[in-house]
Structure 1
Amino acid sequence: MAWSYFRQILQALQFIHGKDIIHRDLKSDNIFIDDSGTVKIGDFGLALKMDVSSTTNSLPVGAYLYRAPEMKKGDPTYKPTNKVDMYALGLILFQLFCPRQCSERKMLKLRDSPEQVCEKYKVDETAKHLILELLQTDPLKRPSPADLLRRLDGLEREGALCFDKIGQAADTKVQNIPTENTSSSDHRPRELESCPIQTGSYNY
């Protein structure tokens, strides 16, 4: 199930980036799952068209924890690219496969030492390699959604993705997600203690 969620996020990002849109605030709180298991990306309040340039658009935005390194340098000539979304995706992928709750302290360590943190928490090997690629400090070296979708297709054909094993773990993580039948007060997107993915009805 975790791989299914990841694939759907990639498909959403491929669509968004194909429209020359940068989300700029991609984080687990802005990813939603409806009661059919469909993943959707929400909150486009900070989204930006790639062909729009101004000094305002070069300012760091979005959740600090998920900001790509190039967004934090304070370079007045910096222009955001869709690679900032891919960096944030690396952090989200870690959250999907980390066997323990992802604290802010753990996520900060992941940014500084991704390989060591993945090994410490025994993150799935296939996921670990993708996380390391996505968290590269050089944005040009981060893969695109299309690159990763092709990789996933190849791994699936080779039988390298253990959907049963991962799905079982993911089922445990998402069992407390409220469904469409919950009351309005319980249904609003909110952070869940056991799972970074939220529920909602947002479309990408």
Structure 2
Amino acid sequence: MLWIFASASASLRLRANADRPLTRMLSWFRQIVSAVAYMHSKGFIHRDLKPSNILFADIDHLKICDLGLATEIAMQDGREISMTRTSIGTKLYWAPEQTCYKYTSKVDIFSLGLILIEIIVYMDDVQRKVAFKNYSNGMPEPLLEHQHLLSDLLKRLSTPDEPKNRPNCETILEELQEYGNLRFFGEDSAPYSASEYGSWSQLSNDGANSESSGL
């Protein structure tokens, strides 16, 4: 999988490449989660997490960028609380509660779930748009069912109804480490493509007239 700099200050874009070595992809995802964990520990919500806001310092080291929409976490009596905020960011990666203008840092966790799908499963623009809409509507596709531990994590990251039930970044990192220790993932070089799943044919047809959304 190749990522390229559009310019010194622009985001990276994922080229159309179905090769997704799982160990490498999960290493990238751990780095993304670690960066979000750091932001949350400092009291901030990113609010616009997506692959185009993730840059490579070098071939395998990632950095989160574009903090222009970040906002402070609202706290009361030492606990995070929901707060009415402006719904801004990239709608394709929004958590459902962002449309209601009242949310917490768990919106970043939902976005991480979508990013996990995107870096592991090869999808074209239409497939990605339809899949993400289904996740937001509580109708997730079985994209990672062949890796049931990873699938379970994804379901909890992207639950639309109870944001408080989404795990925090520390829990995500612990579970990813556990999966790595169990060596559960099988062939490291196996590609994961949306076309492997039967429902995608219909999804692609349903979304064929939808406007494609780039990274």
TM (norm. structure 2) is 0.66
Task: Report whether the alignment pairs 1:16 with 2:39.
Answer: yes
Matched residue type, 1:160: F
Task: Report whether the alignment pairs 1:151 with 2:178.
Answer: no
Match of 2:137 in 1: 112
Match of 2:204 in 1: none
What is the CA deviation profile of residues 15-65 of structure 1, one whole-angstrom value per residue up to 9, with x for unaligned ones? 111101100111121112233310111100000111489xx9612111111
CA distance in 1 between counterparts of 2:99 and 2:46 reads: 17
CA distance in 2 between counterparts of 1:31 and 1:123 reads: 27
Task: Report whether the alignment pairs 1:67 with 2:94.
Answer: yes
Instruction: Give, in angstroms, the shift of residue 106 of structure 1.
Output: 3.2
Q: Higher RCO, 1 or 2 (CA under 8 Å, sep at least 6)?
A: 1
Relative to its length, the structure with more strand (as a share) is 2
CA RMSD of aligned residues (A): 2.8
Q: Are the equivalent residues in 2 in contact too, given 1:3–1:163 (CA < 8 A)?
A: no
Q: Are the equivalent residues in 1 in contact too, given 2:43–2:73 (CA < 8 A)?
A: yes
Relative to its length, the structure with more helix (as a share) is 1
| CA distance 1:123–1:49, change in 2 (3 Å) | farther
Give the count of matched residue pairs. 163
| CA distance 1:40–1:112, change in 2 (3 Å) | same
| CA distance 1:94–1:44, change in 2 (3 Å) | same
Segments of structure 1 that go 5 or more residues without pairing to the other structure are 171-192, 197-204
CA distance in 2 between counterparts of 1:42 and 1:114 reads: 30
CA distance in 1 between counterparts of 2:67 and 2:96 reads: 21
TM (norm. structure 1) is 0.69
Question: How do 1:102-141 residues align onto structure 2 when only pairs under 5 Å count?
Answer: 102-103=125-126, 104-115=129-140, 117-119=141-143, 124-136=147-159, 137-141=161-165
